[in-house]
């Protein structure tokens, strides 16, 4: 489903109303790609479905599974087993399936993010007479090593002096860095890092802790070096590690207290605020480390419309980024992708990305009853999606041109990623899925390749204080094995 095919008249009108004068004109409505059965896969007979339902009722009847929302659909999107399938529920990280599918279909599997050093004019005799702009497009994978390579490229090209400032341009994204719907207790940890068109190392800073002798102070090294990060307090070298790292909510002031075990060095990652300013400051330090004199300071702004590009870094293609997001359940990747999707229609915000997600689902005939898109990662406890919506999205995406890439992006259940802890027999190597876990939420959604009927899609979402009980996992694993044998 490309952007052009998404633009059915109603959807295009909704998008254009929020995208400003530069949004593309609407195209004629297009019909969804037909869903075809797997080659040589016999159809599900009434007897087959009845037998399957009896087995699944037994497997999915224990503990919180009895109250959860469940949907199992065949390759044509027909219901094989459903229970509370239209009930909107908090999906946790299974919500990443929505942004993964949308990003692949709107940006394309071969899309690469670009990060550049740009100027108004070419340097003359090794001197850049104006500002140096660090321009981001939302690369979720950008690291300090990438930026260090950029500083090295400028040095090798002969740049010796920059008379102006280092200016961070993250203007392709809008909105707040940190989603206000996220739980305050999460905001001290790297998995709740902010979102910006210029974010280094997943929006975090590394604190490398070097213990000394027992009773002595441990060294705290912030990596990469930046004047934007300030450290207070201290850590004592001891026989065990027990420390706290607190950040001021409004600035990058970190306070350390506690102790660290003698011997091995350790690293801890914490989220930052003011991500573009931080990236520009890191670039400023790295340029000076490469022998380039920077006479100005650091600021944020907007690059010239017709720039001279001194260096360009391109990310891996999206076909590699989406699988990594699914494998590790990376929240930062998901949030960056949502805003990047929104930026294709002029609104690099959560709302802009959500509009495209809805458009993709509407184009595929995916029901959206009760859908509430608060973020992309599922970290917000107020996200809502019905199991039927998630399962039908899986069915639809599998038959689109990006389908093979999307299906392979999901980790193999019982083998890798966040789903490796499942214990499967018949379904081992035949099930791919995305898991989701926040407080009182346990969800799993993906595909099972059955033995006789081709691929089926499933979505199991539990919102219950018993969601992580042992019988829940046992029941889900048993259900996947039952599907694989069908």
Name the helix (H) or strand (E) containing 222: strand 219-223
Q: What is the pLDDT of residue 264?
A: 87
Percent with pLDDT over 90 in the chain? 88
Q: Record the tokens describing residue 398, joined without a space.
A: 């599998």
Q: What is the pLDDT of residue 40?
A: 62
Residues in a beta bridge with 300: 168
Residue 13 has pLDDT above 70, yes or no: no
What is each CA distance from 111 to 2, 106, 319, 332, in whole angstroms? 13, 10, 8, 18
Rounded-to-integer distance, Cα 100 and Cα 338, Å: 9
Over range 210-233, report the average pLDDT: 96
- What digits encode the pLDDT tens for the residues 426-470? 999 999 999 999 999 999 999 999 999 999 999 999 999 999 999
- What digits encode the pLDDT tens for the residues 228-268? 999 999 999 999 999 999 999 889 999 999 999 998 899 99
Long-range contacts of 52-60 (CB under 8 A, 24+ apart): 52/80, 52/81, 52/482, 52/483, 52/486, 53/80, 53/81, 55/482, 56/81, 56/479, 56/482, 56/483, 57/81, 59/475, 59/478, 59/479, 59/482, 60/460, 60/475, 60/476, 60/479
Q: Record the tokens describing residue 163, joined without a space.
A: 């008379």
Q: What is the pLDDT of residue 391?
A: 98
Q: What is the pLDDT of residue 17?
A: 31
Q: Work out the pLDDT band at 39, boundaries 50, 70, 90.
A: low
Domain borders along the chain are 3-110+318-485, 113-315
Q: Work out the pLDDT band at 15, boundaries 50, 70, 90.
A: very low
What CATH topology corresponds to 113-315?
Answer: 3.50.80
Q: What is the pLDDT of residue 128?
A: 96
Quick one: DSSP state of residue 453?
S
State the CB neighbour count (10 A cutoff) for residue 479: 25
Phi–psi pair at 22, nearest 5 degrees: -95, 5
Q: Record the tokens describing residue 197, joined without a space.
A: 């068109």
Structural contact between residues 315 and 184, judged by C-beta atoms closer than 8 angstroms = no
Rounded-to-integer distance, Cα 391 and Cα 188, Å: 33
Phi–psi pair at 109, nearest 5 degrees: -60, -25
H runs (alpha helix) in 329-467: 331-343, 350-363, 387-398, 403-409
Q: What is the mean pLDDT of the chain?
A: 91
- What digits encode the pLDDT tens for the residues 160-180? 999 999 999 999 999 999 999
Q: Tokens 């890191």 correspond to what residue?
A: 282
Rounded-to-integer distance, Cα 348 and Cα 341, Å: 7
Rounded-to-integer distance, Cα 65 and Cα 258, Å: 42
Over range 140-152, report the average pLDDT: 98
User: Helix, strand or coil for residue 45?
Assistant: coil
Over range 90-112, report the average pLDDT: 98
CA dihedral 132, 137, 141, 142 (to 10 degrees): 0
Asked if 3-110+318-485 and 113-315 have one fold, the answer is: no
- What digits encode the pLDDT tens for the residues 329-384? 999 999 999 999 999 987 899 999 999 999 999 999 999 999 999 999 999 999 99
Structural contact between residues 390 and 91, judged by C-beta atoms closer than 8 angstroms = yes
Structural contact between residues 66 and 469, judged by C-beta atoms closer than 8 angstroms = no
What CATH topology corresponds to 3-110+318-485?
Answer: Beta-lactamase (3.40.710)
Over range 262-277, report the average pLDDT: 95
Q: What is the pLDDT of residue 346?
A: 77
Over range 88-97, report the average pLDDT: 98
Rounded-to-integer distance, Cα 134 and Cα 196, Å: 13
Sequence length of the chain is: 486
Rounded-to-integer distance, Cα 119 and Cα 432, Å: 46
Rounded-to-integer distance, Cα 395 and Cα 390, Å: 9
State the CB neighbour count (10 A cutoff) for residue 214: 13
Q: Categorise residue 336: left if φ over 0, alpha if ψ from -120 to 50, beta otherwise.
A: alpha
H runs (alpha helix) in 32-92: 46-59
Rounded-to-integer distance, Cα 460 and Cα 481, Å: 15
Rounded-to-integer distance, Cα 193 and Cα 186, Å: 9
Rounded-to-integer distance, Cα 243 and Cα 401, Å: 49
């Amino acid at each position: 489903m490309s952007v052009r095919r998404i633009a059915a008249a109603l959807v295009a009108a909704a998008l254009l109303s929020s995208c400003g004068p530069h949004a593309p004109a609407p195209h004629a409505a297009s019909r969804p790609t037909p869903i075809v059965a797997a080659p040589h896969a016999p159809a599900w007979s009434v007897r087959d479905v009845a037998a399957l339902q009896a087995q699944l009722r037994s497997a999915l009847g224990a503990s919180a599974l009895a109250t959860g929302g469940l949907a199992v659909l065949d390759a044509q999107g027909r219901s094989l087993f459903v229970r509370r399938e239209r009930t909107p529920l908090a999906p946790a990280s299974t919500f990443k399936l929505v942004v993964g599918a949308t990003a692949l279909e709107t940006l394309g599997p071969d899309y690469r993010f670009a990060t550049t050093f740009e100027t108004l004019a070419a340097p003359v005799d090794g001197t850049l007479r104006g500002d140096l702009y660090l321009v981001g497009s939302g690369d979720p994978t950008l690291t300090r090593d990438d930026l260090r390579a950029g500083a090295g490229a400028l040095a090798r090209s002969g740049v010796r002096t920059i008379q102006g400032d280092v200016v961070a341009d993250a203007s392709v994204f809008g909105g707040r860095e940190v989603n206000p719907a996220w739980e305050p207790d999460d905001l001290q940890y790297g998995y709740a890092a902010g979102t910006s068109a210029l974010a280094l190392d997943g929006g975090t800073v590394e604190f490398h802790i070097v213990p000394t002798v027992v009773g002595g102070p441990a060294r705290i090294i912030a990596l990469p070096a930046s004047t934007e990060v300030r450290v207070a307090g201290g850590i004592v070298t001891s026989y065990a590690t027990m420390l706290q790292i607190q950040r001021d909510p409004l600035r990058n002031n970190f306070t350390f207290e506690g102790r660290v075990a003698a011997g091995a060095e350790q690293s801890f990652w914490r989220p930052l605020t003011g991500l573009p300013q931080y990236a520009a400051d890191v670039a400023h330090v790295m340029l000076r480390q490469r022998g380039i004199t920077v006479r100005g300071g650091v600021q944020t702004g907007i690059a010239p419309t017709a720039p001279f590009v001194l260096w360009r870094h391109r990310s891996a293609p999206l076909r590699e980024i989406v699988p990594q997001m699914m494998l590790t359940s990376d929240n930062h990747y998901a949030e960056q992708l949502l805003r990047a999707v929104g930026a294709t229609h002029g609104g690099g915000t959560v709302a802009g990305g959500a509009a495209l997600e809805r458009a993709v689902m509407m184009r595929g005939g995916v029901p959206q009853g009760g859908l509430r898109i608060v973020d992309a990662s599922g970290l917000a406890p107020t996200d809502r999606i019905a199991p039927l919506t998630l399962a039908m999205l899986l069915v639809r995406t599998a038959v689109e041109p990006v389908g093979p890439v999307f299906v392979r992006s999901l980790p193999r259940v019982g083998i890798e990623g966040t789903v490796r802890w499942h214990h499967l027999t018949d379904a081992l190597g035949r099930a791919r899925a995305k898991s989701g876990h926040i407080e009182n939420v346990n969800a799993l959604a993906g595909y099972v390749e059955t033995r006789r009927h081709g691929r089926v899609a499933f979505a199991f979402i539990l919102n219950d204080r018993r969601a992580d009980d042992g019988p829940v996992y046992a029941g889900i694993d048993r259900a996947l094995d039952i599907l694989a044998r069908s």
